[in-house]
Amino acid sequence: MKFFCATPCFNAEKYIEETMLSVLTQKSLHSNEHSLFYVIQDGESSDKTIAIAKNIAQKYTHRDNIEVKIISEKDTGMYDALSKAFCLNKGSEAFSYINAGDLYSQNAFEIVADIFTTQSVHFLTGLQTIYNEKGHTISSFLPFDIKKSLLLQGFYGSVLPHIQQESTFWSQDLQTRIDLSKLKEFKYAGDFFLWHSFIQHKPLFIVSAWLGGFKIHNNQMSDVFKQDYENEILSISDKKNISGKAFAYWIKLLSLLPQKIQKKFCKRRLEFDHSNQTYSGPDLKGSNA
């Protein structure tokens, strides 16, 4: 399977190396099982971001299954940079993006490829994982079943937890459905725009595995511009209604139950089947409720 990954960045000299290494040292790339086209889309950084990125890239681009493209040019923000990176796609089959500072697990690509090639899954997320500045895992939980109606109304990120972008992957079919001209207009909630676009076509499955995580550090855009992020979500999402709000709080209540009970309510949760050595779940027919 060919993976496409992008890292939009600006003045990220403190974080770019560890993020790139988490992408480039994937176990399935090292074993040549899969290939990667990786784009660093930089907004004309004034620090050492590009020098560091080039130094890391040259250590891996001698491999036949890895191509790294580093671009530094002006943009209007992260999602303008991401839309530019997406335009460079060369026939990839699995897609993701990860910001400087955030990290993938070394098995992420292997898990995603296993599920995408053996199951009817196009849209996938995993454990929601948080790192501290030292890269230590300090929090992790398995999301409850993601409901289409609640995502469309913007309840994820308000009543319910955000969908963690660093743990989310999607197929080529969904990639073609992105309106890149609209994506680049967002300043804060471009991730929600993607999920909102995808869920209208394919359900979001959740795998009980660590794929990636978000690193907490000072002065993050998600903290400084929290209200702006929420305002952009409101501009995209369907109008909330009373039944939707009641449903959201019901799901929140269910998510507090023990995992064994939660599983009875989760239609799209995948777990590792030790007998078959693969990931599987109860509803792989693509129900998009």
Assign residue 14 a region: left if phi > 0, alpha if psi is -120 to 50, beta otherwise? alpha
Decide if pLDDT at 175 tops 70. yes
Determine the pLDDT at residue 286. 47
Decide if pLDDT at 159 tops 60. yes
Q: What value does the mean pLDDT of the chain take?
A: 94
* SS3 at position 2: strand
Q: How many CB atoms lie within 10 A of CB 172?
A: 16
Mean pLDDT of 106-126: 96
Which one has a higher pLDDT value, 234 or 221? Answer: 234
The residue to which tokens 């002006």 are assigned? 74
Query: Which H/E stretch holds residue 83?
Result: helix 78-86
pLDDT band per the 50, 70, 90 thresholds, residue 190: very high
The structure's pTM equals: 0.95
C-alpha triplet 268, 103, 125: angle, nearest 5°: 10
Determine the pLDDT at residue 288. 59
User: In angstroms, what CA-CA distances link 109 with 25, 218, 261?
Assistant: 10, 29, 29
The residue to which tokens 């209540």 are assigned? 253
Determine the pLDDT at residue 264. 87
Mean pLDDT of 263-270: 90
Decide if pLDDT at 235 tops 90. yes
CATH class for the domain made up of 2-280: alpha beta
Q: Could you list the beta-strand ranges (E) of the chain.
A: 2-9, 35-42, 66-72, 94-97, 103-104, 123-125, 128-131, 137-141, 168-171, 205-207, 212-215, 269-273, 278-280
Mean pLDDT of 13-23: 97
